[in-house]
């Protein structure tokens, strides 16, 4: 405004000076003064606009933390929104250039039995390289029950990976490939995150789109979410997360790994709700997995489990067996539990008297209907806890008392 006011005062002084005596001279003088006034006004407006835009640009550069020079922004950007987009895209592309090679695709094979038949199923997920010699961080649920784990790097090379250790309580696992000189992620401090911070997710959505990048913001912190019966405090983001992203990386604006993607909320009306495990919550667990092969101070029962159905009313059906199950299903008598497929010798389950074929239906008085619910219930216990396991054996209920030991790996 100071530039414009000074110009106007100067124009007024000129007009108040000696006047031409002729009519033409007076008109010409007025026209000239008017043109001069308009010219100076436009020039002043341009100067103000340029300084104003420069000040706004400087503010944006400072706020976004971009290294892009002011002059290049003023040259290439025509609006404030264009300036913001240029800065944001530059920031995200830098993160991708620095971090994408550290994110891998994971494919697993599992073998299941159905009566006398065996079949192989395939699963997919993501992982993040955390050391130059091939240690990879992922989710426990990505590699759980895998007979074979295959890792594919961004450059297309594939490796068979070895399971180093896993922890169901934090849904964390570490695998390893035999390679050196790998690009790895730098761990950040997830405690420094603030709602509204930039969030970049890199992973393998749908198990077919490795290296996919999505971006958004940190939507919430310490969000308590229950996943497969386990309560976890997670980072919430609106960056796109899909099946297959599990185990992938959540990166901050500095390109540091601040979270491991673990879940998304799904439903007809649900969008932009993804969750990640804060790295600060699992650093000690990862160290344990690498050094010991297991997470210390984790309660251990010692059974292999699989989901099953059962009925307590089969004795009312003269046919029994398969036809008894059909009879129970027809009359809505079928129930769900976790069948014990194996018992580790010397484990708390073995010492307590749990046998292969038992169906676990409760843990410490709480009803369980699936293998994952049993696992979650044990994970919420402490080493040394004495608990009651409710089972079905030979169509009869029974209670087994066990004292949980510390898990030492498989």
User: Are 123 and 211 in a shared domain?
Assistant: no
User: Are 306 and 401 in a shared domain?
Assistant: yes
User: Are 109 and 140 in a shared domain?
Assistant: yes
Predicted pLDDT of residue 349: 95
Whichever domain contains 222, its CATH number is 2.40.10.10
Contacts of 173 (CB under 8 A, 6+ apart): 137, 138, 139, 140, 142, 143, 144, 163, 164, 165, 166, 167, 289
Predicted pLDDT of residue 265: 62
Tell me which residue of 383, 387, 173 sits closest to 298, measured CA to CA: 383
| Catalytic one of 7, 91, 141, 347 | 141
364: annotated active-site residue = no
156 burial type by CB count under 10 A (0-12 exposed, 13-18 middle, 19+ buried): exposed
Boundary (domain end) residue, out of 292, 321, 354: 292
86: in domain: no
User: Are 165 and 208 in a shared domain?
Assistant: no
289 burial type by CB count under 10 A (0-12 exposed, 13-18 middle, 19+ buried): buried
Task: Give the separation between CA 368 and CA 238, rounded to whole angstroms.
Answer: 33
Boundary (domain end) residue, out of 176, 209, 238: 176
User: Are 223 and 308 in a shared domain?
Assistant: no
User: Are 310 and 401 in a shared domain?
Assistant: yes
317: annotated active-site residue = no
| Catalytic one of 44, 215, 219, 246 | 246
200: in domain: yes
User: Are 154 and 223 in a shared domain?
Assistant: no
331: in domain: yes
Residue span of the structural domain in which 37 resides: 2-76
93: in domain: no
Q: Where are the beta strands (DSSP E) in 270-358?
A: 274-278, 299-300, 303-310, 335-343
* pTM exceeding the 0.75 threshold for the entire prediction: no
Predicted pLDDT of residue 247: 96
User: Are 226 and 283 in a shared domain?
Assistant: yes
95: in domain: no
CA 177 to chain centroid: 23
| Catalytic one of 101, 167, 171, 325 | 171
401: annotated active-site residue = no
User: Are 283 and 303 in a shared domain?
Assistant: no
Beta bridge mates, 232: 225
Per-residue pLDDT in tens (0 to 9) along the chain, 410 residues: 333 333 333 323 333 333 333 334 444 444 444 444 444 444 444 433 443 444 433 333 333 333 333 333 222 333 333 333 333 444 899 999 999 999 999 999 988 776 667 788 899 999 999 999 999 999 999 998 899 999 999 999 999 999 999 998 899 999 999 999 999 999 999 999 999 999 999 999 998 899 999 999 999 999 998 877 678 899 999 999 988 999 999 999 999 999 999 977 655 556 778 999 999 999 999 999 999 999 998 899 999 998 888 776 544 444 445 455 555 455 556 788 899 999 999 999 999 999 999 999 999 999 999 988 898 899 889 999 999 999 999 888 999 999 999 988 76
Predicted pLDDT of residue 168: 86
Tell me which residue of 245, 271, 251 sits closest to 141, measured CA to CA: 245
User: Are 279 and 363 in a shared domain?
Assistant: no
87: in domain: no
Predicted pLDDT of residue 308: 87
Whichever domain contains 380, its CATH number is 2.30.42.10
Alpha-carbon dihedral sign for residues 263, 377, 352, 365:
negative
163: in domain: yes
Boundary (domain end) residue, out of 271, 292, 313: 292
Question: To which H or E segment does residue 224 belong?
Answer: strand 212-227
User: Are 288 and 195 in a shared domain?
Assistant: yes
What six digits make up the tokens of 247?
């185990």
228: in domain: yes
User: Are 284 and 303 in a shared domain?
Assistant: no
Please count the structural domains in the chain.
Answer: 4
Contacts of 7 (CB under 8 A, 6+ apart): 40, 41, 43, 44
């Amino acid at each position: 405004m100071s530039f414009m006011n000074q110009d106007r005062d100067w124009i007024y002084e000129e007009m108040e000076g000696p006047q031409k005596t002729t009519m033409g001279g007076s008109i010409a003088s007025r026209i000239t003064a008017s043109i001069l006034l308009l010219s100076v006004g436009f020039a002043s407006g341009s100067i103000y606009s340029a300084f104003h835009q420069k000040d706004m640009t400087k503010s944006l550069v400072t706020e976004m933390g971009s290294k892009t020079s002011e002059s290049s922004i003023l040259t290439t950007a025509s609006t404030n929104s264009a300036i913001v987009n240029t800065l944001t895209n530059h920031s995200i592309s830098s993160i991708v250039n620095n971090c994408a090679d550290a994110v891998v695709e994971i494919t697993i094979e599992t073998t299941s039995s159905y009566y006398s038949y065996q079949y192989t199923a395939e699963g997919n997920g993501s992982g993040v390289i955390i050391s130059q010699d091939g240690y990879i961080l992922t989710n426990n649920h990505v590699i759980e029950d895998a007979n074979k784990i295959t890792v594919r790097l961004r450059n297309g090379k594939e490796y068979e990976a070895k399971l180093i250790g896993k922890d169901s309580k934090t849904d964390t696992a570490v695998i390893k490939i035999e390679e050196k000189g790998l690009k790895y992620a730098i761990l950040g401090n997830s405690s420094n995150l603030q709602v509204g911070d930039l969030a970049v997710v890199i992973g393998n959505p749908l198990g077919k789109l490795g290296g996919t990048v999505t971006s958004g913001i940190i939507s919430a912190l310490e969000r308590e979410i229950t996943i497969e019966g386990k309560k976890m405090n997670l980072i919430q983001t609106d960056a796109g997360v899909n099946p297959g992203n599990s185990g992938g990386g959540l990166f901050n604006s500095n390109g540091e790994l601040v979270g491991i993607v673990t879940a998304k909320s799904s439903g007809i009306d649900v969008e932009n709700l993804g969750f990640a495990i804060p790295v600060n919550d699992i650093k000690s667990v990862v160290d344990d997995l690498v050094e010991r092969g297991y997470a210390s101070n984790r309660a251990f029962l010692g059974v292999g489990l699989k989901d099953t159905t059962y009925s307590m009313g089969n004795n009312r059906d003269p046919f029994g067996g398969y036809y008894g199950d059909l009879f129970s299903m027809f009359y809505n008598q079928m129930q769900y539990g976790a069948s014990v497929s194996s018992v580790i010798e010397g484990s708390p389950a073995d010492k307590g008297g749990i046998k292969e074929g038992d169906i676990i239906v409760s843990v410490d008085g709480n009803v369980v209907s699936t293998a994952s619910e049993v696992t979650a219930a044990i994970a919420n216990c402490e080493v040394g806890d004495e608990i009651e396991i409710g089972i079905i054996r030979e169509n009869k209920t029974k209670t087994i008392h066990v004292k949980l030991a510390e898990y030492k790996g498989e």
